[in-house]
Amino acid sequence: MATATEHAEHTEHEQHGLTDGGYIKVAVVLAVITALEVSTYYVDFGPFFMPSLMIMMVAKFIIVVSYFMHLKFDNKLFSFMFYAGLVLALGCYFAALATFQFFS
Amino acid sequence: MADTAVHAAHDVGHGAHVTSTGLSNNKLAMWLFLGSECLLFGGLISTYMLYRGRVANGPHPNQIYDIPFTSVSSFVLLMSSLTMVLAVSAAQRRNDQQTNLWLTVTALLGATFVGGQVYEFTAFYREGLGFTTSLFSSSFYTLTGFHGVHVTVGVIMLLVTRSIIQKNRVTGDKAESVEIVGLYWHFVDVVWIIIFTLVYLIPA
């Protein structure tokens, strides 16, 4: 019975997220995106400069939160709590910028 | 009966209490805390974006930022997220030796990042960018300083966690304790992902 218990716990832990190899692959993807971000400092991306930086920033954010923080595999309530704070922060950000006429 | 025994042993083994949500209260509290931290950094980033052009007589952001140096610091912090998740993975496999190793590596990478930030602040100060030089400098130091303090607190949390695991003094689920510290650590990395782009890479 002890073996069954240990096996059940072990299996649950193993299923919670990726394997170590999977995490390393995710880190390589993040490193490549970071290299691309830094390249915008040296290479002229023209009109794509700002959109490409924003897309890469959001992609890195989502990858870290989903895979390293396990939100992709965890209970949805955790996602709700985190993203609720994030949405409120974005609301605060845009309200502040609009109040000070940052966009005009 | 076997199922019941497995379930009960599972709860006891994890040191978990029965909760109304069926989820760990500790983990729930950490996520709630991180949600509130989003608001803190949202406010600080908003303030920086508003004031980054207000340089008064001080140096302009583009004159003082050292992008290659900050890129290396960012890479170090990013890799610390990998070592942190490997520590969590090792803790879930109940491999204390590997858990301690990865926690130590993560703390060292975090300390390297903080050291880089101290060096950067010193260099900026020598170039004439004091805390009260301009609205830009105040908002920059406040934002990046707050982040630096968070990383420092994270390093302390990592070292304390490592210490209590080594002394086998963890009450409750060891893997969950490491995971909760990991959540905080990944959060400071995520915040830096935003700061690196909005503050350093996008010119004022």
In tens, the pLDDT along B150-183 reads: 999 999 999 999 999 988 877 778 888 999 999 9
Arithmetic mean of pLDDT, A22-28:
94
B88 contacts on A by Cβ (under 8 Å): 17
Chain B: residue whose CA lies nearest to A2: B6
Nearest 10 degrees: Cα torsion B117, B119, B125, B127: -120
Residue B80, domain extent: 25-201
**If you compute the radius of gyration of chain A from its CA atoms, what whole number of angstroms results?**
20
Contact B28 A100 (CB under 8 A): no
Contact B197 A65 (CB under 8 A): no
A88 contacts on B by Cβ (under 8 Å): 35, 38-39, 42
Nearest CA to B173 out of B21, B17, B2, B5 is that of B17
The pLDDT of residue B17: 63
Number of domains in chain B: 1
Rounded Cα gap, residues B95 and A2, in angstroms: 19
Give residue B45's region: left, alpha or beta (phi > 0; psi -120 to 50). alpha
Give residue A56's region: left, alpha or beta (phi > 0; psi -120 to 50). alpha
In this structure, are residues A24 and B83 in contact, taking their beta carbons and an 8 Å threshold? Answer: no
Contact B50 A97 (CB under 8 A): yes
> Which has the minimum average pLDDT: A90-94, B75-79, B85-89?
A90-94
B14 in any annotated domain: no
B182 contacts on A by Cβ (under 8 Å): 68-69
Chain A, window 47-76: residues with a beta carbon less than 8 angstroms from a chain B beta carbon: 50, 53-54, 56-57, 60-61, 64-65, 67-70, 75
A38 contacts on B by Cβ (under 8 Å): 67, 71, 201
Contact A82 B27 (CB under 8 A): no
Contact A27 B82 (CB under 8 A): yes
The pLDDT of residue B201: 92
pLDDT digits 0-9 by tens, A32-83:
999 999 999 888 888 888 999 999 999 999 999 999 999 888 888 888 888 8
B105 in any annotated domain: yes
Nearest CA to B109 out of B70, B143, B81 is that of B81
Q: Hey, is the C-beta of A30 within 8 angstroms of any chain B C-beta?
A: yes
> DSSP secondary-structure letter at B58?
S
Nearest CA to B87 out of B31, B17, B159, B27 is that of B159
DSSP, collapsed to helix, strand or coil, labels residue B87 as: helix
Average pLDDT, chain A: 82
Arithmetic mean of pLDDT, B33-37:
91
Rounded Cα gap, residues B34 and A86, in angstroms: 9
Q: How many CB atoms lie within 10 A of CB B9?
A: 17
Chain A: residue whose CA lies nearest to B42: A89
Contact B78 A38 (CB under 8 A): no
Q: What CATH number does residue B51 fall under? A: 1.20.120.80
Supply the ipTM of this predicted assembly: 0.85
Chain A: residue whose CA lies nearest to B71: A38
B180 in any annotated domain: yes
Chain B: residue whose CA lies nearest to A53: B197
> DSSP secondary-structure letter at B166?
H
pTM given for the model? 0.85
B5 in any annotated domain: no
Residue B121 above 50 pLDDT? yes
B18 in any annotated domain: no
B3 in any annotated domain: no
Structure tokens at A34: 């970071």
B155 in any annotated domain: yes
